[in-house]
Amino acid sequence: MNKKRTKLAYICPWFSEEFGGPLYNLLNELSKHINVVCMCSRQKYIQYFKRNEKYENKVEVINPNFKIHRFEAIAPRDVVIPFGLLKILDEEKPDIIQSDEYFRFTTIQAAKYARKNKIPLIINSRMRYRSGVARNGFLRLMTLFARNAVKEAKHIVAIGEIAKKEFLRWFPNTENKIEVIPTGLYPNKFKGIGPKQAEKFRIKYGIPLNKKIILDIARIYPVKRIDLLVRAFALVKQKVKDVALVVVGPAIEEEKQRILALVGELGLKVNVDVFFTGPIENKNIGLAYAAADVFANTSETEGICFSFLEAMSFKIPIVAFDVGGNPDVVKNGENGYLVPFGNIKSFANSLIDILADSKLKAKLGSNCREKILGDFNLSTIVKRLVYLML
C-alpha cells in the first residue's frame, strides 16, 4: 500500500506566471517529495507601487504533485490583505503550512488556521537591513500582530545569516527555532549554453565581439542604484579599453530617463558603451550570463540575490556592495569582491582587477562554481526542508 504523501500549503503574496524563478524551482523540487499547493493572491506582482491586472480565478496544475491556488486580495502598495485564504485552506486540508515573512497578513491568517487545526507552521524570513522610520514603524506594529504566530511556529527558515540576525532583532528569544536554509539553484540549470549562444546574444543586442562585458540583471528603479553602476563603469572605461556595460531588466520609465541622462553626462554612449536590453525571458536569460566576464550589482539592499547564484553557476565573479544578504553569497577575495556601499572608486577598481587579470578571474570563477555545487545546490537544500517537515 502506498504511503499517503504529506501535503504542504506554501503561502506567499505573489507567484509569478514566469516559471524558472527561485520560488517556482523550490516548490517544483519539493513536489518530488511531498504534495505542494502554492496559495497566493490573484494580484500580479506590484512594481514600484503600481498595480497590474489579476490572474484568472482558476487552479493551475503544474504537475500531479504541485498546483497553484489563488485567493482574492486587495493590495494597497506592496501589502496584500487576503480574502478567501482560510476557505482555500479548508478546501485543501494541508498537513503543514509554510508562509513567507511574519509581517504578512497572509502569515497571520495561516497561523490562525494552523492553531485551529493543530498542524505545524513554518515561517520564512527573507528580511534584510533597510533603514527608514516608516519601514521600522510598520515592522514594530506588525510584531504585535504576529507575536502569537511566531510563538506558535515550529520553525523559522531564514535564507541567510543576515536574515537570521534581522529576525532576532525583532524576536530575540527565537534562536532555537531558526534554521538557516538559503535560496537554491540547480547547478546544471543552464547546461548546453556556451560560447555559441553567447555570440548570438552579442549579435542580437549589437555588442561587439571583442568587448569584455560587465553584466547586471536588475530592474531599473531607484533602490537598484544603476546610477552608481554607471559611474563606476565610467571609471573602468578609463583603464580598460574594450569593455561594455550591459544592464538586463525592466525599467520604470522615469528612472531609466534619469540613467540615460547620466550616461550622456559622463561622456558614455548608449549602444556603444552602455547597453540596456530590457527584460529577457527566464528561459533565455542564460545567454546573457554566457556572454559576461564579471557580474556587478550596486543595489542598496538585497536578500539572497538569485542573479548572483545564476552568474556563479557560469563561473562569473561577483562585485557588489557589502549590504543586505550579499555577504552570505560573496566572500571577499574568494569568489568576488564586496565594497562598502557608495565607494565607487573601490567598486571600479575591483572590476578592473578582474578584467585585467585572467588568472584571478579564473580562480574567482572556479570558486563561484564550487559554492553553487555545495552551499546553494537546490536538491540538497530541498532535502533539508523536507527533513524539517516530515
What tens digit of pLDDT does each residue of 334-373 get?
999 999 999 999 999 999 999 999 999 999 999 999 999 9
Mean pLDDT for 281-297 is 94
User: What's the pTM value of the predicted model, to 2 decimals?
Assistant: 0.91
Beta bridge partner(s), residue 156: 123, 178
Cβ(99)–Cβ(123) under 8 Å?
Answer: yes
Tell me the one-letter amino acid at 251. A
Mean pLDDT check: name the lowest of 17-31, 210-224, 328-342. Answer: 17-31
User: Would you place residue 79 in the very low, low, confident or very high pLDDT band (cuts 50, 70, 90)?
Assistant: confident
Q: Domains, the chain, ranges and CATH?
A: 7-182+377-389 (3.40.50.2000), 195-374 (3.40.50.2000)
Q: What is the CB-side half-sphere exposure of residue 379 using CA atoms within 13 A?
A: 6
pLDDT tens by residue, 347-357: 999 999 999 99
**Element (DSSP H or E) covering residue 349:** helix 344-356
Mean pLDDT for 44-62 is 71
Cell of 53: 491586472
pLDDT tens by residue, 242-261: 999 999 999 888 999 999 99
- The predicted pLDDT at position 238 comes to 96
Give the closest residue to 322 by CA, choosing from 304, 307, 306, 300: 300
Mean pLDDT across the chain: 90
Mean pLDDT for 207-218 is 96
Q: How far is CA 74 from CA 42, 86, 87, 97, 260, in A?
A: 9, 15, 16, 22, 35
**How many helices, marked H, and strands, marked E, lie in the chain?**
14, 15
Strands 121-125 and 155-158: parallel
Q: Residue length, the chain?
A: 390
SS3 359: helix
